[in-house]
Every structure is written in C-alpha cells, then in structure tokens.
Chain A
C-alpha cells in the first residue's frame, strides 16, 4: 500500500493540491482582451481562460474561471502564473512543452519549467493527461482567437 500511496503522492503533489484548493488568478482580470472556453466532454472539466493582450501580443494579465478536478484546476492556476508577462510566442512554446511534459516519460524540461514540474505526475496516469492539458489547449485556442477548445 505504501507503493500505491507514493505513486499517488507523485500525482497529487503538495503544489497540485495547494493550487487546486487555492487557485491563483481566479476570475476575469481587468483589461482582458481575449477569452476561450475549454471543455472536456468526457469528464465535464471546464475552464474559461482570459488574457489581456496588447498590440504587440504581449500577455499582461491572465485569469481563469472554471470547475473540474484537482489536476485541471491546479494546471490552470499554474498556467496563469507561468504565462503572465510572456509574449505570444513564448506562451505557445510553453504550451507545447507542457504537452510533452505530461506525456513523454523521457522528456527533459528546461530549467524555466521548474514551477510546472508537478504536472509531470500525469505521465503515469494516461487517463488523466487531458485533465492537466485542458487549460493549455484553452490557452492556444485563446491565442488563436477560437474561443473554444475541447479535449476528448
């Protein structure tokens, strides 16, 4: 049973539990210019992500609303901290890195991804990868001006 708990502890690290219980940047930020809604029809997780973008496509503020499991909420909370004050290209690159972080066992993330490493726990839980990646799909949808993102 210890092994089971260790494995679950790796998924539900303290950072994940903290972010899910007390998410950062919850709500619509002032000056939001674009938003997108992400939905996972299989489990009902949903997030609405707001970005305040300037004309140079620099992200000044990020916020989200939504409901879902601990992994989804923690991922959205971590996202808001990670992409704040990034430009569009950096944010997109980050979204790509997170997808790899959540799925590739041997992926070696660069040092600047350190705060997001707790998300890597889903690698050993294939059924839960979509929970963690939904906010990042939503980010890309917001940057694309699509308004909607789904994971299935």
Chain B
C-alpha cells in the first residue's frame, strides 16, 4: 500500500473561523442589557441577523421591489427574477435535484402543516400509522394530531433513553405495514440531540415509507444535502439560520410534490380560473397561494451566502467547541444537572438547578445580561418523558464565544447565591 498524502484543499479543509470578525457583522451584539454587554444564548429560538441580510432586503426594497409573477412592468420582472433566484439559491444550498422542489411558506410550521393537510389528506386513511418521536417540537406533533382527529390515523411515538437519545432499534420495531409516513426532527430543539435521520430514512425507504424531516435546528449547524439524505420532505426556518422571519422552506421531492393537491387557494397558485372550474399550476407555485414573502426570500439568499462564505464546517467546529466548553463549565457547578446528554448533540445545553425553578433561574440570568430560554420549549411531551416541568436552555450561534459561556456560568452561580 502506497502512502499517498493528499493536499488539504477543497471541502475537507476547515477554514479558520474568526469569531470576532463574524460578531462585527451583528450590530445587536453591541447592545447593553441592564447595563451589561448582551450575551445572546437563545439562537435556537431565533438567531440574530447579520448586516448583510438586512442590507440585501433594504437594497431590493429601495431599487426594484414589486409584486412577483404579476405585472409585465420592469420592477415586477426584476423582483420575479430575484425571487426565483432565491428559490434556486435554496435548492443549491440543499443540493435539491431541481429548483422547483423548493416551496416557500410563511414558516417551518406551515411547511409541516402543508404536508399534513395536502399530502396527508390525500394519502392517509383511518388506521394508517404515522411515526414521530418523543423529541418533537409541537409543530411536528399537533399537525398530525389534527389529522388523527379528521382521519383516524394512529400516531406512533419513537421513545428516547434517559439521556435524550433517539432509540433507533425501537424506531425499527414501530415500522409496520400500516406505517405510511415517518416525521422526525433532525435535531431536538430542547436538548440538542441529533437524530440519525439518514438511518431513519434508509430503514423507512426499505419499506417504501416516505420521511419528513424537521430540519429547523440542524440547518444552522451543519450542511444538509437532501439528496444524500434522500429525504422526501425537509423543512427549515430561515430565521434560525441568520435570515428573516416570515418565510419558511419546504423541500419536497418532485414526485412527492406532484402527487399533492393544492392546499390553500388563491392567486399565484392557479393556471386559470372560471366560476365553473379552476386549474392549478404545477409545484411549487401550486402551494404558494397569495403574495409570497418576497423581501424575505432575498434576505434568505443573503443569509445562505453568509453562512456559506464563513464555511459550514468552520462554524460547526466553532460551535462544537462552545458546546463542549459549556458542558464542562456547567457540569462543574454543584446542584446543576444537564438535561440531555445524548452522545450526538449540537449547540444546545439544557439544564436545571436544584431548588430553583427554571423561570426563576431565567430571570436571575437575564438580569445579568444573559439571554436564555426557559420553559418547555414547545416540547411538552418531551418534558413529561424527562420528568421536568421546564428547563433552562442555552443555545449557541456562530457569534458566541467561550467568554460568553463564562458569563453564563457566573450568572448561574448568582442563582445559588440568591436561592442558597
């Protein structure tokens, strides 16, 4: 065997990541809160926006904004081009097979509801089973419960272990001839657990079952290739990946989208309308009734440009460092329990402090300028499984630093000082 030394270039090379330089792109990080520099550790709820995103949206609004797919005037044409380029940009980022596999929605939640109401209503019937997991956000529970009420489908729940890890073997046992869809999160928003979605998809596809992945918490932290994953549906929230609110992305395989009837009716999604009969456009426009989020699509383009320029691997390495450091710092605090210790985690640390409720902890931490989320994180069934009413959640973005983790740890010590 000859030893071949490959030059370290191409996508394997991890770019050096300059966090201070990245922070300069986020003006809000200069803010003082209660007289102290803001430490923002709530990016899992929504990330902050770099100047580049806001600048792109402002530029469009100031130079060529008009409604899309409507007029023949110049601005409408330019806006339509930019809007469709945004679709193309998202498709390239996700490595979708074609641009028209990208549907713009008003949010990730709407993307899941679209699949449930359109694909689900057309393909599911009484007694059919849909598999979700204990880790799901309410957005990937409630739409299926609504279908259960309407259609009499059965929800099967993949259990987790005490560390919050997805139990793959238990998932396999739930697969049955009645299983018609698997809908799972890629990363738990409450614990940071990474679900082995590639293996889930492989196992489901072996039985001809399509899979929807809720990618909201994965997209900011790793490069997702929907073709490599072979996901049938993949949804994500641009506002969690440094883009604007008001827009969501639903990726659907072309053949899946083609087998789905329209969901909401209105302008934009029709081929022709008479009072006797209406014919519908093909996907994705079939699913984009009404004026879409135009400026937001341009903001999303800028956000994807931004993270790609920084390099997903460099960002991921930086965030992995933050997670490891935070886990170590927080674990050393007596009385603090980390909730969620699965072997595969990303960018989220949930914890509780003995003798203090998460809300009291949140208030005390907040007053020291550190923003964390407290509560059930829209994952009440998960909290019930773990036997906690709520947790304190610190979540990291590309702009966070180890010094900020230190501020968090110091803030937590104040809880002990007060609650003794």
Which of B357, B367, B368, B418 has the largest number of chain A CB atoms within 10 A? B357
Chain B min CB distance to A5 (Å): 7
**Residue of A whose beta carbon sits closest to that of B383:** A44
- How far apart are the CA atoms of A7 and B34 in the complex, in Å? 11
Is there a chain B Cβ closer than 8 Å to A22's Cβ?
Answer: no
Count contacts on A: residues with CB < 8 A to the other chain. Answer: 24
Give Cα A16 to B250, complex, Å: 48
A67 / chain B contacts, CB cutoff of 8 Å: 389
Q: Assuming the A-B contacts A4-B367, A4-B368, A8-B364, are A43 and B414 also in contact, with contact meaning beta carbons closer than 8 angstroms in the complex?
A: no
With both chains docked as a complex, state the minimum distance between the C-beta of B80 and any C-beta of chain A, in angstroms.
41
Dominant SS among interface residues on chain B: mixed
Question: Considering the chains assembled together, what is the distance between the CA atoms of A125 and B389 in angstroms?
Answer: 21
State whether the Cβ of B195 lies closer than 8 Å to any Cβ in chain A: no
Contact of A127 among B363, B364, B368, B414 (CB under 8 A): B363
Residue numbers in A under 8 Å from B383 (CB-CB): 44
Nearest CB on A from B290, distance (A): 29
A42–B419 CA distance with the chains assembled, in angstroms: 23
Q: Is there contact, CB below 8 Å, between B418 and A12?
A: yes
Q: State in angstroms the CA–CA spacing of A70 and B34 once bound together.
A: 22
The answer to whether residues A69 and B357 also contact, given A4-B34, A17-B419, A42-B375 and a CB cut-off of 8 A, is: yes
> Are A131 and B418 touching (Cβ within 8 A)?
no
Any chain A CB within 8 A of the CB of B147?
A: no
CA distance A44 to B389 in the complex (A): 6
A12 lies within 8 A of B359 (CB): no
Q: In the assembly, what is the distance between CA of A17 and CA of B360, in Å?
A: 11
CB distance from A73 to the nearest CB of B (A): 8
A11 within 8 A of B: yes
In the bound assembly, the distance between CA atoms of A44 and B328 in angstroms comes to 29
Q: Is A9 an interface residue (CB 8 A)?
A: yes
> What residue in chain B is nearest A3 (Cβ atoms)?
B35
Q: Does B285 contact A (CB under 8 A)?
A: no
Q: Is the CB of B367 within 8 A of A8?
A: yes
- A53 at the B interface (CB under 8 A): no
- The 8 A CB mask of B364-406 against A (1 = contact, 0 = none) is 1001100000111000100100000110000000000000000
Bound Cα distance A45, B359 (Å) = 10
Bound CA–CA A67/B389 (angstroms): 9
* Secondary structure class of chain A's binding surface, majority of residues: helix
> Does A128 touch B at the CB level, under 8 Å?
yes
Q: Is A147 an interface residue (CB 8 A)?
A: no
Which residues from chain A contact B258 at a C-beta distance below 8 Å?
Answer: none
Residues of A within 8 A of B374 (CB): 43
Max count, chain A CB within 10 A of own CB: residue among B359, B374, B389, B419:
B359
- B55 in the interface (beta carbon within 8 A): no
The interface size bin for chain B is: 20 to 34
Note all chain B residues with C-beta closer than 8 A to A3. Answer: 35
Contact between chains at B414 and A68 (CB < 8 Å): no
* Chain A 1-26 per-residue mask, 1 if CB under 8 angstroms from chain B, else 0: 10111011101100001000100000
Whether B418 pairs with A8 at a CB distance below 8 angstroms is yes
* Contact across chains for B34 and A71 when beta carbons are under 8 A apart: no
Q: Once the chains bind, are B368 and A69 in contact (CB under 8 Å)? A: no
Task: State whether A69 touches B360 (Cβ < 8 A).
Answer: yes
Question: What sequence of 0s and 1s flags, for each residue 28-52 of chain A, a beta carbon within 8 Å of any chain B beta carbon?
Answer: 0000000000000011110000000
When C-beta atoms are compared, the residue in chain A nearest to B419 turns out to be A17
Say yes or no: B34 contacts A12, CB within 8 Å. Answer: no
How many angstroms between the C-alpha atoms of A147 and B158 in the bound complex?
35
Q: Are A128 and B363 in contact (CB under 8 A)?
A: yes
Q: Which residue of B lies closest to A45 (CB)?
A: B359
Chain B residues, Cβ within 8 Å of A70: 356-357, 360, 419
A114-B173 Cα distance, complex, nearest whole Å: 61
A66 to B298, CA, bound (A): 49
Residues of B within 8 A of A21 (CB): 355
Q: For B355, what are the chain A residues with a Cβ–Cβ distance below 8 Å? A: 21
| Distance of B387 from chain A, by nearest CB (Å) | 12
- The minimal Cβ–Cβ distance linking A81 to chain B, given in whole angstroms, is 21
Do residues A7 and B367 form an inter-chain contact, with CB atoms below 8 A? yes
Residue-by-residue, is A46-83 near B (CB-CB < 8 Å gives 1, otherwise 0)?
Answer: 00000000000000000000011111000000000000
Query: Which residues of chain B are near A11, meaning CB under 8 Å?
Result: 363
Contact of A71 among B358, B360, B375 (CB under 8 A): B360
Docked complex: A89-132 residues within 8 A CB-CB of B: 125, 127-128, 131
- Distance between Cα atoms of A68 and B417 in the complex (Å): 20
Interface residues as binary, B20-35 with A (CB distance below 8 Å gives 1, 0 otherwise): 0000000000000011
> Which residue from B356, B375, B419 sits with its C-beta under 8 Å from A43?
B375
Report the Cα distance A128→B364, complex, angstroms. Answer: 12
B residues with a Cβ closer than 8 A to A are 34-36, 355-360, 363-364, 367-368, 374-376, 380, 383, 389-390, 414, 417-419
Pull 22 A–B residue pairs with CB atoms less than 8 Å apart, ordered by A. Answer: A4-B34, A4-B367, A4-B368, A5-B414, A5-B418, A8-B363, A8-B418, A9-B418, A12-B360, A12-B419, A21-B355, A43-B359, A43-B375, A43-B376, A44-B375, A44-B376, A44-B380, A68-B389, A70-B357, A70-B360, A71-B360, A128-B359
